[in-house]
Each structure stands twice: as C-alpha cells, then as structure tokens.
Amino acid sequence: MGTGKRGLIATAVAVVCAVTVLAAPGTAFANPTPSPAPSAGAALATGQDLEAVRKKLDKLYRAAGRATDEYNAAEEKADKQSAEVVELAKKIVKGQEKLRKLKNRAGAAAAAQYRGGGLPPEAHLVLSDDPQDFLDGAGRVREGHHATKGLLGELTRTQEDLEQYAKDASAQWKKLEAGRKAKAAAQKKIEKQIAQAEKLESALQKEEQERLAELEKEAANRAQTAWLDSGILDEIDGKASEQGKKAVQYATAQIGKPYQWGAEGPETYDCSGLTSQAWISAGRGIPRTSQEQWKRLKHIAVQDMRPGDLIIYFGDASHVAMYIGDGAMVHAPRPGRTVTIAGAGSMPILGVVRPDPDTGAN
C-alpha cells in the first residue's frame, strides 16, 4: 500500500462517525492503538467470556439478517402478487361487461330470426312478390348468419377468457396467502433472534457492554487491517458514475439513522433497504434484498469497484453495504446500531455488484 494512504489510516477511526463521502482521504479504518484492558471486579465477565458473548451476538444478528432478507423477499413477492390479483380482477370485470353486451347482441339476433318466421328460403321465394327483392334479402340473410356465427364464436371465447382469468386469480390468491405465511414466519424468526440477542446484552453490566462494543470494533479493525495489508487499496481507483455519486450522497446523508429490519426509510433502514433506496434516489431501481442484489446485478472484481457499487458480505449474501471510496463503505449494520461508515473489509466479502454497469464513470 502507498505510504500516503497508510499514513492517514490512524486518524480514520477517531472520525468514523463524522466523515462523509467528501471527507478527507484516509478512511481505511486500521486499528491504531490497543484497546483498554477490561475493568477488574469479580462481578464482571472476563475478556474471554465477553469474546464468547460477542461471537454469540454476531451469530444471532446474522441469523436475524438472513430472516430479514426472507421477510423482505416475501413482502416484495406479496406486493407483486397483490398487483397481479388486482389486474386480473379488472380483466374479469371488463370480461363480464363484454359478455353482457355480447349476450344482448346474440339475443337481438335470435329475436330477429324469430320475427322472420323461421320459414325455409324456398317458402320465402314463393311468398315474395318480387323475386329480386328476395334474392337481395337472401344475401343479407347469409351475411347475417355469418355475423351471428362470429358473434357466437366471440361469446364462447369471452366465456373461456373469463374462466381462465378466474383460475389465474385463484392461483395468484393462493400464492399471495403462501407469501403472507412465509412473511409471518420470517418475522417470527427475526423477533426471536433479536430478542435472544437483546436478552444476552441486557444481562451485561454497563462496563461489560462498553467492553463488548470495544471488542466488536477490534474484530472489525483486525479484519479491515488484514484486508488493507493485502495491498488491495492500491488497485482500487475506480471513479463514480453520475448515478453512483447520487446514490452515495443519499446513503451518506442517512448516517446516524437507526437500523430497523424491513425498513426502507426515510427514518430507519435495514441494510438492503438503505442500498435499494439510495439507488432509487439515483434513478435506478434495483432488487430489494441483498441476496437478490447479489443474484441479479452485474458482478465486479473487488479491485475494479468504484463508489456506488454494492459490497455483498458473508457466504449467504445476508448483508450489503455501499462502497464510498478510500477503502470505506456505508451501511446499516444491525439492530441497536445506526447507519454508519466502516471499513469495506471489516466483514468477509462475498463479492461486489454494480447497479449501473452500462454507464461510464467521471
């Protein structure tokens, strides 16, 4: 890594909560100084005990993150299915009105035929005073028969369409109900994991909670330092696209707002709620969940990432953040935390995706 960037790393941790995307370079987040030793006292947990608590909390919150993705995905599907049910209902109403009009026309045609007496053409010819008038009328009758046949065919097709719309609506309704159940199940998972984590944290004394927060920072700093020591930052020099700049501006403007699972702003966010809304603000809609963002957006090599790109974390793609440059990212971490800037390598990176692959950078 260049000496200029490494020389500024030590100042980054002290200003992490104050920086913005336009802050001075150096937000690479290494660990500059050792953390203070845990407070003495028989009632306090040992460092080893607190480290076990930290790992347990990390596990619980990651499980809550996965369940949040399940919840968001179920909600997104439910919204789509609800819209489809509404559209099918509109088609059914229009079809019913069309069927009513066709039946009226068919009834009128039947009545006209009845008024003709139902006599065979030969009889009409015999009874006619003017054979030419009869022949002219016979042509109109043939046209009328063709029209009636077409009318009956349209009537049959409309009835078939209505039956299909009804079947489709029923199928979509069943999917909607299944989606609601999946959403409710995911919500229970989230609430269970968060409740367990909060119970674990609330059992700690104030000094232990403070030390636990320090341990969390230390673990993140160790990961970030290892990432930086690989020399990766020397290779990352991509510049943001115009849309990327707008997305970064939106995301960093949310710093300090609380995390809330399932939230998309404007006052609270979960991790993918923040990134999806940031890109919507930049004029580009992207998938709602981190897992779908990983599946459906273009993959970019880590060394090629630029501000605005999304960093996907953990093997299950259960967390996402936005790269803002200088080895830093902005994200909504977990329950009990706020939107903040952190080291891009402070968690295990699965990969990077780009929401606007077709635009150039400036």
Give dist(CA 8, CA 25) in Å, integer: 7
With tokens 């991509």, the residue in question is: 238
pLDDT of residue 344: 95
Is 299 assigned a catalytic role? no
Is 185 a residue whose pLDDT tops 70? Answer: yes
Per annotation, catalytic residue among 17, 124, 146, 271: 271
- The pLDDT confidence band at residue 23, using thresholds 50, 70 and 90, is very low
In 3D, which of 326, 346, 323, 324 has the Cα closest to residue 334? Answer: 346
What integer is the mean pLDDT of 10-38? 38
Per annotation, catalytic residue among 17, 124, 145, 331: 331
pLDDT digits (tens, 9 = 90+) for 314-360: 999 999 999 999 999 999 999 889 999 999 999 999 999 999 987 66
The residue with greater pLDDT, 210 or 121, is 210
Give dist(CA 173, CA 326) in Å, integer: 49
Is 271 assigned a catalytic role? yes
* Strand residues in the chain grouped as ranges (E): 298-300, 310-313, 319-325, 328-331, 340-343, 349-354
pLDDT digits (tens, 9 = 90+) for 257-314: 999 988 999 999 999 999 999 999 999 999 999 999 999 999 999 999 999 999 999 9
Q: What is the pTM of this model?
A: 0.61
Is 182 within 8 Å of 70 (Cβ atoms)?
yes
Name the strands in the sheet holding 310-313, side by side, starting at the edge strand that comes first in the sequence. Answer: 298-300, 349-354, 310-313, 319-325, 328-331, 340-343
